[in-house]
Amino acid sequence: MDDNLLQIQRGERFAFGRNWNAFADLVDEGRVHTATGSLRTALGVEDLAGRTFLDVGCGSGLFSLAAHRLGARVRSFDADAEAVESAARLRRTFAPGAAWTIEQGSILDGGYLAGLGAFDVVYAWGVLHHTGAMWRAFDASAGLVAPGGVLFTALYNDQGGESRVWTAVKRRYNRSGPLVRGALIAASAAYIHRSWPLVGLGRLLTGGSRPASPRARGMSRWHDMLDWVGGYPFEVSKPEQVIARARARGLDLLYLKTCGGGLGCNEYVLRRPIGSAGAREGAETAGDLAYLGGPRPQTPQGHPR
């Protein structure tokens, strides 16, 4: 039995792959289109033609599919066999015969990573904080970025005491039976959406638009809620820690979207300048990703902590 499955059975890890496999049933051209748009926006590109794209912790495989649609040569891996199955299902349905490799592997497995090479885009959205060794996983991902390429990652925001409460909730969820799990999901959903009546009233009065939702990436509210409440192991970080760590690994900040100091992920696009040290030997690159369409540089926004 593989290590990931053993941890799930011991209640030490959320069954991410099972959740993604269920989500994959909902994937349609509309969600693929939305996911493709979210990649384009964050990377500041029109397409990824001729680029290599590594999807670290690919989950459902939706973003690998989006990268393929943008013209990239895609390699995807996930530690969870069911996630690998889900991505393979999306490839069969939406991209048969695509230049897209999918396999089971861990970002913490040095032996596996040694055979990968380097990539124009290393995509690790919502993954590194679920490995059980976030900074080691971050360093490993950074090491896979080719000169001129980028690491696009999203990491849970450190909310101090509140993050510690969520850690306890998630740990409990994975060690419990269906009844306690159901109660934890209901209570968490009520807490997270406690401001909805007020927001709804505000929208009614001002005619304002909907707030950003998981649908902005083509995801589903229900599966994202399960992933949030169950998502364990769980670690958090502050933007200043991530930016400093990236600099130490030879990556510059190109794009930052924070969750405003609240609950959720901060998104980072971090670039390895051409000619810099820190990339793998023999790294292949199609050139500076920034030349493709012009990234959208952003200054770090204020962070309450």
Ligand X SMILES: C[S@@+](CC[C@H](N)C(=O)[O-])C[C@H]1O[C@@H](n2cnc3c(N)ncnc32)[C@H](O)[C@@H]1O
Residues contributing to the site for ligand X (CB under 6 A): 16-17, 20, 57-60, 63, 78-80, 83, 106-108, 125-127, 130-131, 227, 231
Of the pair 245, 273, the CB lying nearest ligand X is at: 245
Report the nearest approach of ligand X to the CB of residue 69 (Å): 16
Residue with the CB atom nearest ligand X in the bound state? 59
Of the pair 142, 147, the CB lying nearest ligand X is at: 142
Cα angle value 289/256/105 (rounded, 5°) = 65
The b/e string for 275-284 (b: 16+ C-beta within 10 A; e otherwise) is eeebbbeebe
Q: For residues 168 and 61, give the distance between their C-alpha atoms in angstroms, rounded to a whole number.
A: 29
Report the nearest approach of ligand X to the CB of residue 276 (Å): 25
Which DSSP state fits 302? P
Q: For residues 91 and 58, give the distance between their C-alpha atoms in angstroms, rounded to a whole number.
A: 12
Q: For residues 182 and 164, give the distance between their C-alpha atoms in angstroms, rounded to a whole number.
A: 21
Of the pair 43, 127, the CB lying nearest ligand X is at: 127
Q: For residues 140 and 127, give the distance between their C-alpha atoms in angstroms, rounded to a whole number.
A: 12
Inter-residue contact 300 to 161 (CB < 8 Å) = no
Of the pair 147, 169, the CB lying nearest ligand X is at: 169
Of the pair 118, 226, the CB lying nearest ligand X is at: 226
Report the nearest approach of ligand X to the CB of residue 301 (Å): 22
Report the nearest approach of ligand X to the CB of residue 6 (Å): 13
Report the nearest approach of ligand X to the CB of residue 121 (Å): 13
The total number of residues written for the chain in this structure: 305
Which DSSP state fits 278? S
Q: For residues 106 and 116, give the distance between their C-alpha atoms in angstroms, rounded to a whole number.
A: 12
Of the pair 5, 243, the CB lying nearest ligand X is at: 5
Report the nearest approach of ligand X to the CB of residue 281 (Å): 23
Report the nearest approach of ligand X to the CB of residue 80 (Å): 4
Query: What is the β-pairing status of strands 265-271 and 145-156?
Result: antiparallel
Q: For residues 132 and 190, give the distance between their C-alpha atoms in angstroms, rounded to a whole number.
A: 28
- What ranges make up the beta strands (E) of 22-116? 52-56, 73-78, 100-104
Of the pair 27, 289, the CB lying nearest ligand X is at: 27
103: number of Cβ within 10 Å: 13
